[in-house]
Every structure is written in C-alpha cells, then in structure tokens.
Amino acid sequence: MQTSSIDHGNIITIERFILDEQRSHPEATGVLTYLLYDIALAGKVIASKTTRAGLAEILGRAGVTNIQGEDVMKLDQFADRTLISLNDHTGRIAVMASEEHPDIIPIPDKYPTGKYVLLFDPLDGSSNIDFNVGVGTIFSVYRRKSEDGPGKLEDCLQPGRNLVAAGYMLYGSSTMLVYTTGKGAHGFTYDPSVGEFLLSHPYIRIPDKPKFYSCNQGYEMYWSEGVQRYTHYLQGQDGLRKGLSMRYIGSLVGDFHRNLLGGGVFYYPADSQDSFKPHGKLRLLYEAAPLGFICEQAGGRATDGVTGILDIQPTSLHERVPFFVGNKELVDQAEAFIRQYDLKA
Ligand code: P6P
C-alpha cells in the first residue's frame, strides 16, 4: 500500500517535483513547469466535482452529443471547460484540442500564444459516472511546429514520439495524477486535507510479472483470428503457462492504471467483421499516444497491433486506432499473433 510523502514527514508536492525536474534542464525556461502546474490545478478542480457527482445538479446527461456521437454528461462539459479556461490565457499555449470538440480550440485573440500544444480527453469513461466507477482526464503536451501566431491543426497532428509531456488524472477511490516528461513516469496522490498532489509513486516501473489482461470480451466474436488466439493465450489455454486474471471496468484510465501498477495488458482491438469499429474505439491523439508514452516510460509498450503507437503519424484529430498497451512481452505477443494469423506473414 503506497503512502503519501506526508506520512513520512517528507512532503514532496507535484510543484516541487516538477521544479526539481526542471532544474536538471539548465535550458528550461519554466514554461512547461507552469503548464504542468496549470494541468494539476485543473485536476484538483475537476476532482472537487467528480467526488460529488452523486448530487442532482451534476448527474445526468447534458442533453447534447459530442463529435463521437456520445451523450455528453454535465461532468464532461465541466472538465472540458475547466481545462480550457485554466490554459487559454496563460501565453504558454499556441492551440488546444479536446476529445469533446470537433475542431482545434484556438487561443482567443485577446490572449498571447505560446510554444506548447495541449490536447486532452477531459473526462474519459464518463459513461461510468452514474455507477461511481473511476473516470479520468488524459492530457498530451507537444511543442508547436508552426513558427508563431495562432496555432494550427498541423501543430496538433504530431506522432507520440514528439510528446514533451503526457499524463492522466484518475478520479477513483483517491485522486491520482501520473505524468511523464520523458524522464520516467511518476505518480502523485491528492491529499484533500492540504489540497496538494503529493509524490506517492516515483519512477513507476510496470512489474515484470503481469497479473491481468483487460478487454471487453463481449466483442470477442467480432475480433480477428489473431486477436482471438491471443486472448486464449493470455488465458493459458495453450497449457504452457498459467493464465492471467481478467479485469475490465470499461474506464480506460482505471484499467490502464491498474495494469501499470500491477502488470498486465489492456487491449481494445478493431472489430474485423463488425463495420462499426473497423479501427477500434479509442482515439490515437487523446488516449493511445499519451498512455503509450507513459507506459513506455514505465518499461512497457503500446501498439496498434502492427505499428508502435508512438510512431503513428495522425492524419485527423479524432482518428481511432486498435490499442494494445502494457507489459512489453505481452504487447509483442499481440503483434506476433496478428502477424501469424491475420497478416499471414
Ligand atoms: P466498451 C469509455 O467509454 C471508453 O472510451 C474507455 O474509457 C473505455 O476503455 C472504453 O470506452 C470502453 O468501451 O466498448 O468496452 O464499453
């Protein structure tokens, strides 16, 4: 059981940790540090609502649908608005994009633009809010590619290899923030008594011995032969190894976080027969790339079944990809089954 740094009288707030990280980069200007502070603040504000989501004024659908055709719940809108309003005026950002908006979110003309690009899924798994299942915010930070002035779509369409920072907030039994700037993945637990994220999981490493596999097996009949055989392999049906335990809560951040700390693989494959999800359900920019970056920083890996997630060049803001993420050996095995049975390599 992880305890926060307060219990050991050694209080390391996320602000201090980020500042210490910045100090190891003499060329750093501090802009990214302040941007990460802004995101952590947004996490605190969103957490203040998600823990009260049982109240009437928050629960229930907002009566609109998003670009994905999904019902937008009030908390979705609140989280989206919070992230935008805490970042649109700081002069640190050239352009934003949100899983809840069809197009890029320009910085209002009255505010200066900066050198970073912020993409986010404001509240992933929100369909679970009514059932009190953990939901999360996922964010990505890139450097702008365009020279100056208002940021453009091209600034948002960058491969995960270009990520400067990525992270997520998980609003569960406690609120956690996990992030990386390419120097390891680090976890912070929110202590409401002091209103701070405190270091609780420095330098996260995915355990070498996986425990879980996570997938919606209700769709197994739609999967390719390779993915079906991969699933049976994970269950130990080949008799060569003990099967893994199946854990799936249908909330990506929660499923990802459990496997990151406990060891395992999460996958949301394409439906090879069902025309509804020919590229799977999860979005490259808002979900797969940031979580893939974090997992790689923790010693794991992420793929679409053929290509490493971080090496995929996005062609549109909301493109979906099949997503396999977790222990490197298990992710490599997914590619091997797909190569052998689906690509007939
Ligand atoms: P399914 C939640 O709606 C979400 O986007 C992810 O958080 C989650 O991993 C996935 O969809 C669950 O999808 O089809 O299993 O309900």
Question: What CATH number has the domain bearing residue 242?
Answer: 3.40.190.80
Helix ranges (DSSP H) in the chain = 14-23, 31-50, 74-85, 153-156, 225-234, 252-262, 289-297, 328-341
Residue 61: CATH number of its domain: 3.30.540.10
Tell me, yes or no, whether 184 and 221 share the same domain: no
**9 falls within a domain:** no
Digitized pLDDT (tens) for each residue of the chain, 345 residues in all: 455 455 556 789 998 998 888 888 787 788 999 999 999 999 999 998 887 655 544 555 666 677 777 766 688 899 999 999 999 999 999 999 999 999 999 999 999 999 999 999 999 988 887 788 889 999 999 999 999 899 999 999 999 999 999 999 999 878 999 999 999 999 999 998 888 999 999 999 999 999 999 999 999 999 999 999 999 999 998 887 778 999 999 999 999 999 999 999 999 999 876 667 888 999 999 999 999 999 999 999 999 999 999 999 999 999 999 999 999 999 999 999 999 999 975
Instruction: Report how far Cα 54 is from the mean position of its chain's Cα atoms.
Output: 24
**94 falls within a domain:** yes
Q: Which atom of ligand 1 has the smallest separation from the CA of 218?
A: 15
- Of the CA atoms within 13 Å of residue 226, those in its CB half-sphere come to 21
Token pair 């390599």 is found at: 345
- C-alpha–C-alpha distance, residues 319 and 317, integer Å: 6
Tell me, yes or no, whether 102 and 247 share the same domain: no
**207 falls within a domain:** no
**6 falls within a domain:** no
Tell me, yes or no, whether 235 and 327 share the same domain: yes
From 153, 174, 201, the end of a domain falls on 201
Is the whole model's pTM more than 0.95, yes or no?
no
pLDDT at 50: 80
Nearest residue (by CA) to ligand 1, atom 9, is: 252
Tell me, yes or no, whether 329 and 285 share the same domain: yes
Ligand 1 centre distance from Cα of residue 154 (Å): 28
3-class secondary structure, 280: strand
Tell me, yes or no, whether 332 and 286 share the same domain: yes
Nearest residue (by CA) to ligand 1, atom 13, is: 250
Tell me, yes or no, whether 161 and 255 share the same domain: no
Phi, psi for residue 38 in degrees, rounded to 5: -60, -40
**315 falls within a domain:** yes
Tell me, yes or no, whether 240 and 336 share the same domain: yes
Tell me, yes or no, whether 224 and 291 share the same domain: yes
Please count the structural domains in the chain: 2
Task: Compute how many other C-beta atoms are within 10 angstroms of the C-beta atom of residue 266.
Answer: 27
Q: Which atom of ligand 1 has the smallest separation from the CA of 255?
A: 9
- C-alpha–C-alpha distance, residues 195 and 125, integer Å: 25
Nearest residue (by CA) to ligand 1, atom 10, is: 250
- Per the structure, the complete domain to which residue 39 belongs is given by 14-201
Ligand 1 neighbour 283 (Cβ under 6 A): no
**276 falls within a domain:** yes
From 149, 174, 201, the end of a domain falls on 201
pLDDT at 259: 98
From 146, 170, 201, the end of a domain falls on 201
Tell me, yes or no, whether 41 and 117 share the same domain: yes
Indicate the burial class of 193 (C-beta count within 10 angstroms; 0-12, 13-18, 19 or more): exposed
Ligand 1 neighbour 320 (Cβ under 6 A): no
Ligand 1 neighbour 29 (Cβ under 6 A): no
pLDDT at 241: 76
**3 falls within a domain:** no
Tell me, yes or no, whether 139 and 228 share the same domain: no
**136 falls within a domain:** yes
Ligand 1 centre distance from Cα of residue 9 (Å): 39
Ligand 1 neighbour 251 (Cβ under 6 A): yes
Ligand 1 neighbour 250 (Cβ under 6 A): yes
Tell me, yes or no, whether 171 and 247 share the same domain: no
Q: Which atom of ligand 1 has the smallest separation from the CA of 251?
A: 7
DSSP conformational letter for 66: -
Tell me, yes or no, whether 78 and 163 share the same domain: yes
